[in-house]
Amino acid sequence: MLLAGLLISVLTGGAVATAGLMQLNDLTNEFKSLSHEAPLRKGTVEQAAPGKPQTILLVGSDHRYADGKKDARSDTMMLVRIDPKQSAITVLSVPRDLAVEIPGRGLAKINESYTLGGLDLTARTI
């Protein structure tokens, strides 16, 4: 009876773990399929040296899943600064209606840089 209970517990745990990993894999594939297709141009971003401060650009998009439009705009832009020597992480939110000079495009709202050139142009604009 004890052996049967142990066997049922192990098999149930294995089934739950397998189902969880399969769900995580599906979620990962979904994120990959929704990500921006245009790669970053060489020199747009540099890899931070280990142990040195780095700044990460977070960009949110108003593109909706299964929406036939290809021209998504960025609705959120944040710069996150991580410095191993500091005891805090700093965040700067960039207003989406901020008027800026977009490289090669002229004066426009900063969120248009995402529509015009994806993540690469957004990073170069910021």
**CATH number for position 61:** 3.30.420.590
Asked whether residue 60 is domain-assigned, the answer is: yes
For 80, the domain range is 54-125
Residues 59 and 121 in one domain: yes
- The rounded distance, in Å, linking the Cα atoms of 126 and 121 is 9
Asked whether residue 82 is domain-assigned, the answer is: yes
Quick one: pLDDT at residue 47? 80
Quick one: pLDDT at residue 51? 84
Quick one: pLDDT at residue 33? 66
Asked whether residue 62 is domain-assigned, the answer is: yes
Asked whether residue 25 is domain-assigned, the answer is: yes
Domain count, the chain: 2
Quick one: pLDDT at residue 27? 84
> What parts of the chain have a pLDDT lower than 50?
none
Quick one: pLDDT at residue 93? 94
